[in-house]
Structure 1
Amino acid sequence: MRLISISFTKIISIVVTASLLSACGFHLRGDYSVPDELGSLSLTSYDQYSTLTRMMRSQLRINEVNIVPPSENVPNLHILGESLGERNLSLYQNTTAAEKELTFTASYRVTIPDIGDKTFSTSVSRSYLENPLTALAKSVERDMIEDEMRQFTTGQIIRQMARLRSDIKAGHILTKEDLDSLDEQDKESTSDVKSTE
């Protein structure tokens, strides 16, 4: 009887906790880094039907970014291009490749009306074993790795868009000198606070 009451108490406490969390509006969103000003944007690409563009569109939707048609007064995410490079990491005794490294690079530009545009680049690397005896299986594995790298790249693009918060707050695209000056101001204000304590 006591065992039933303990498990019943646990179940009740879990249900009550879940109800309280859902009632207060708490939920995992995933849009932790997209600035509010980019809540609606247009997505353009060098190839509207590429796998990267489709994955980027999906990633924006997951992060609750409203994708709208391109317009002069709407922020724009433009995928400039993507490339895939490979190099041999190790060789078999017969000089065929044993292990390869794939590097996927994507570049894109974010344009914000009345502020300007900024170009970013992101890169992802993965390695895999190359076995000439299982060529078909390795081909499928390579395709899966490439898709995984594209998916990871879309997540990196979302995270890199967080860099635009300071640009939006400043009202213009910040140069490296502007960012260095902001860092100096932060250091000075921190040292002023420490000296007053």
Structure 2
Amino acid sequence: MVCIAVVTLIAGCGFHLQGAFTAPATLERTYIATNDQYSQFYRELRLQLQDAGVQLVDTQAESTATFSILYDETDQRVLSVSARNVPTEYEVYYTIQYAIDGTDSRLLETQDLTITRNYTYDSRLVLGKAREEELLREAIVRDLVRIVLKQISTI
């Protein structure tokens, strides 16, 4: 009986578990505008929005909000080289720029986010390092989406 009262009290005050995303009502039916429907960020964002109960629509006309991905780019660059001019450390980065518009006003101004991760490179472990780079990109995308969802929850 006491447990039920505590749960009701906590739920009533708006408490949410950390990481739990509740979509604002203005995003009930959202259209995602992007130039690259195959990017890692776009796919992860769609998945997380759907998991949060947001209905993703195919046209802007049917939507209550438009999530515009204005820039979506990932790459890597050399951070350091050995004495023999061989790369020994790389930086993987992912940059996005986005904005959210409602039916009659801008809900979230243009936001720029960049996340970087470094990894060491060893030419004897080419396959393992390629997989490490792939895993770093996936982790970066999850972090970007988590940050975006946190910003969206303030709308």
Structure-1-length-normalised TM-score? 0.63
Q: How many residues align?
A: 148
Instruction: Check whether the contact 1:31–1:64 (CA below 8 A) recurs between aligned residues.
Output: no
Q: What pairs up with 1:121-140 in 2 under 5 angstroms?
A: 121-140=112-131
The alpha-carbon deviation at position 68 of structure 1 amounts to 2.9
Aligned with residue 153 of structure 1, among 129, 144, 150 = 144
Q: What pairs up with 1:24-63 in 2 under 5 angstroms?
A: 26=11, 28=17, 30-31=20-21, 34-63=23-52
Counterpart position of 1:171: none
Which one is further off, 90-99 or 132-141? Answer: 90-99
Q: Deviations over 1:135-170 (max 9, x none)?
A: 01100111111111111111122123346x3xxxxx
Whole-Å separation in 2 of the counterparts to 1:88 and 1:66: 41
Q: Choose between structure 1 and 2: higher strand proportion.
A: 2
Structure 1 residues 84, 51: CA separation in 2 closer, same or farther (over 3 Å shift)? closer
Q: Choose between structure 1 and 2: higher helix proportion.
A: 1
Whole-Å separation in 2 of the counterparts to 1:68 and 1:31: 20
> 1:84 and 2:69 equivalent?
no
List structure 1 runs of 4+ shifted beyond 6 angstroms. Answer: none
Instruction: Check whether the contact 2:93–2:114 (CA below 8 A) recurs between aligned residues.
Output: yes
Q: Deviations over 1:80-103 (max 9, x none)?
A: 331123333332232212111111
Q: Deviations over 1:18-43 (max 9, x none)?
A: x55566684647125x4332233222
Percent of residue pairs identical: 22
Instruction: State the structure with bigger RCO (CA 8 A, min sep 6), 1 or 2.
Output: 2
Structure-2-length-normalised TM-score? 0.77
In the alignment, structure 2 segments of 5+ residues that lack a partner are none
Q: What pairs up with 1:1-197 in 2 under 5 angstroms?
A: 17=3, 26=11, 28=17, 30-31=20-21, 34-72=23-61, 74-116=64-106, 118-162=109-153, 165=155
Secondary structure at the aligned position of 1:37 is classed as: helix
